Chains A and B, each alone.
Chain A
Amino acid sequence: MDSVTCEKKIRSRQREYTPAVRVVTYALLGVWALIVLFPFYWMILTSLKSYSAYNGEYIPKLYTLSPTLQNYADAFTAVPLGRYLLNTLFFTVLTTVIMLAVIVLAAYAFARLEFRGKNAVFVLFLSMMMIPNELVVITNFITITDLDLRNSFTGLILPSVTSVFYLYLLKENFEQIPDNLYYAAKVDGTSDLKYLLRVMIPIAKPTLVTVTILKVIECWNSYVWPRLITDDERYFLVSNGIQEIRENGFGRENIPAMMAAVVVISVPLIVLFLLFRDKVMEGVSRGGTKG
């Protein structure tokens, strides 16, 4: 018996639980799966019920026999949901791209270049990881207001384009790239910038993808800053949009239409997650808490 099958045997031995334990385990896991999935089911279900059917159900039904897409049409016509989505897309892409540029340059400086004061600045950067957003948001609000940048994409984006944590992740990754690659490139007359673009960025691609995904999730879900900085509907992101819809949209409480909007807002990130499941989970376990 070779060692691999031996290993397997040992493992399978280990997994021998009594049937009762197995049942309890699956029951527990099943219940939690239900709790997680049910809100998603309910939002899709409700979004497919017609307004009158929904309001007619004093006892809510767990299924519908006459699904309608009318609510989705309403969501895009009665409230500017399309605009919210486009705004969010624009905000997310721009913020992420600028942030990547900023942190790639800074991480390169920290990981690869030698200059006076480097260590001191790096310690300063690290200490900024401990500063909660709540402390700085007040002044930022006033700064942006004073600069007359409320209700503008500039005002939305500017405070979010640096992340010390992602910078740190990237710097660690850059530092793992052997020095000799740099010396080899130097001997061949490669400029620092070309070395960064042609060698370091391709090698650090997995980390860059992780950072990008985390930042996209963060941007797509951001609520507090956009709420502070925008009160003009034309600049609302989806989070603010949904809140606006809830408080002022659709005339009377049109729950099915609201749920249609919720579905539309939730789908992009869920699709992104299902496409890059392992990347997302790896990235989050390396350094994300929600929010």
Chain B
Amino acid sequence: MKVVLEDLTKKFPVRDRKGRGDVTAVDRLRFEIPDGYLIGLLGPSGCGKSTVLNLISGLLQPTEGRIFFGEEDVTLLPPEKRGIGLVFQNYALYPHLTVKQNILFPLENLKGKDKLTKAEMLQKAEETAKLVQIDGLLDRKPAELSGGQQQRVAIARALVKMPKVLLLDEPLSNLDARLRIQTREEIRRIQRETKVTTVFVTHDQEEAMSISDLIVVMKEGVVQQIGRPQEVYDSPNNLFVAKFLGTPPINVFEGRVRGHRLYIGDDAVLDADSVPDGEVYVGVRPEGFLMRETGALSCRMDRVQVMGRDISVVSANDAALNTAVRAIIGTESEVTKTAASAPEGSEIRFDLIPRKVFLFDRRTEKRIFLEEGGQ
């Protein structure tokens, strides 16, 4: 089922000392989720992503705009008529019901032509339990399950009535790190098997990048960028998106363009043929540095962190907005030895890989595209 959001806006009334007013949680949201896609709704807390989810679910009514499931306008439909499955961060399992009763619960509400016999319900519940691999736990109470198992039950409960759209609200944030990775793979597998259109809300960019077909990055109720995870990472629309995606985070420098050259401090680091003169922010991905004695960018060595396959060279630069400039360098490289042996405070030099460098307008923070080599 394709899901279309058309100019979706949600305002919440607020009353405080200054009087009444509105807070716009979601501002003219417009995008389309293709059928069968898993889409990651990503942003810092308070960016309106959960509101979007609640608008799609029907728990909230939009102030303006419309929502379509396929060709059907569902904007005014109550949640139960939309055919959605919803999974909550804290699972929201009914504590007094067993796993089986929890999964059966949505089926018992079906009325009219959808009504199922007891046997059909049981069969469906068992199939779904098998799908999420909790078929051995059907008679337990939620309190007797681990966090990961509870999450699977919650997913089973959401899936059992064959929803047109599955909505997951921060489904992994109550799990510990190891379980989180395992469960997100599990969600991906289940989604692939059922081919149900899925919206996954998270503030964890790694989580979203690793399992989504498309990610939607939001900030303060406004969509910043939509695209395949790698596209968005490789080509962020603005400084916010660039900073939000990637671990370790992108390094940002204050720079300027003079006579088609890009300067960081006094170092001319790259050609910038098509860019007019002006102040810019320069974002450099950690993997965008090449350590060379003849490198264009000069930094002061701080320390080296060895992280198995790679090492990360931490240094300082006066033009950098981050307190530390972090460069990730493969250990195969010959320079490693030199780097590791450079004393603290000594000068080290980097060349920058052009496709890992992004320029942003200093005022609007929008991307200024470098036209280089056919890209």
Contact B109 A187 (CB under 8 A): no
Q: State which residues 185-231 of A face B: CB under 8 Å.
A: 185-190, 194, 198-199, 202-203, 205
Contact B109 A188 (CB under 8 A): yes
Binds B, one of A68-76, A106-114, A175-183, A273-281: A175-183
Question: Contact size class for B?
Answer: 20 to 34
Q: Pick the contact of A203: B79, B96, B109 (CB < 8 A).
A: B96
* Distance in angstroms between the alpha carbons of A181 and B142 in the assembled complex: 13
Query: How far is the CB of B169 from the nearest CB of chain A, in Å?
Result: 9
Q: Which residues of B contact A203 (CB under 8 A)?
A: 94-96
Interface check A184, CB cutoff 8 A? yes
* Distance in angstroms between the alpha carbons of A194 and B105 in the assembled complex: 11
Known: A202-B96, A203-B95. A188 touches B80 (CB 8 A): yes
Contact B90 A186 (CB under 8 A): no
Contact A187 B95 (CB under 8 A): no
Query: How far is the CB of B133 from the nearest CB of chain A, in Å?
Result: 21
Interface check B161, CB cutoff 8 A? yes
Interface string of B41-67 (1 = CB under 8 A from A): 000000000000000011100000000
Binds A, one of B81-89, B121-129, B271-279: B81-89
Query: How far is the CB of B15 from the nearest CB of chain A, in Å?
Result: 13
Q: Pick the contact of B110: A178, A184, A189 (CB < 8 A).
A: A189
Q: Pick the contact of B92: A181, A189, A198, A205 (CB < 8 A).
A: A181
Q: Pick the contact of A186: B79, B85, B111, B157 (CB < 8 A).
A: B79
Contact A180 B96 (CB under 8 A): no
Q: Pick the contact of A187: B80, B89, B111 (CB < 8 A).
A: B80
Query: How far is the CB of B305 from the nearest CB of chain A, in Å?
Result: 37
Query: How far is the CB of A115 from the nearest CB of chain B, in Å?
Result: 16
Query: How far is the CB of A195 from the nearest CB of chain B, in Å?
Result: 10
* Distance in angstroms between the alpha carbons of A188 and B106 in the assembled complex: 5
Contact B92 A178 (CB under 8 A): yes
Contact A189 B106 (CB under 8 A): yes
Known: A189-B106, A189-B110, A190-B109. A184 touches B86 (CB 8 A): yes
* Distance in angstroms between the alpha carbons of A145 and B84 in the assembled complex: 57
Contact A188 B90 (CB under 8 A): no
Contact A188 B95 (CB under 8 A): no
* Distance in angstroms between the alpha carbons of A139 and B125 in the assembled complex: 58
Nearest chain-B residue to A194 (Cβ)?
Answer: B109
Contact A186 B92 (CB under 8 A): no
Q: Pick the contact of B79: A180, A187, A205 (CB < 8 A).
A: A187
Nearest chain-B residue to A199 (Cβ)?
Answer: B94
Q: Which residues of B contact A185 (CB under 8 A)?
A: 105
* Distance in angstroms between the alpha carbons of A194 and B95 in the assembled complex: 16
Q: State which residues 145-196 of A face B: CB under 8 Å.
A: 178, 180-181, 183-190, 194
Contact A184 B109 (CB under 8 A): no
A-B contact pairs, 11 of them (CB 8 A): A183-B79, A184-B86, A187-B57, A187-B58, A189-B80, A189-B111, A194-B109, A198-B105, A202-B96, A202-B97, A203-B95
Which A residues form the contact surface with B (CB < 8 A)?
178, 180-181, 183-190, 194, 198-199, 202-203, 205
The 8 closest A-B pairs by CB, nearest first: A189-B80, A180-B92, A188-B106, A189-B109, A202-B96, A184-B92, A180-B88, A187-B86
Q: A186-B80, A187-B80, A202-B97 are in contact. List 17 more A-B contacts (CB 8 A).
A: A181-B94, A183-B86, A183-B92, A184-B88, A184-B92, A186-B59, A186-B79, A187-B59, A187-B85, A188-B105, A188-B109, A188-B161, A189-B80, A190-B80, A198-B105, A199-B96, A203-B95
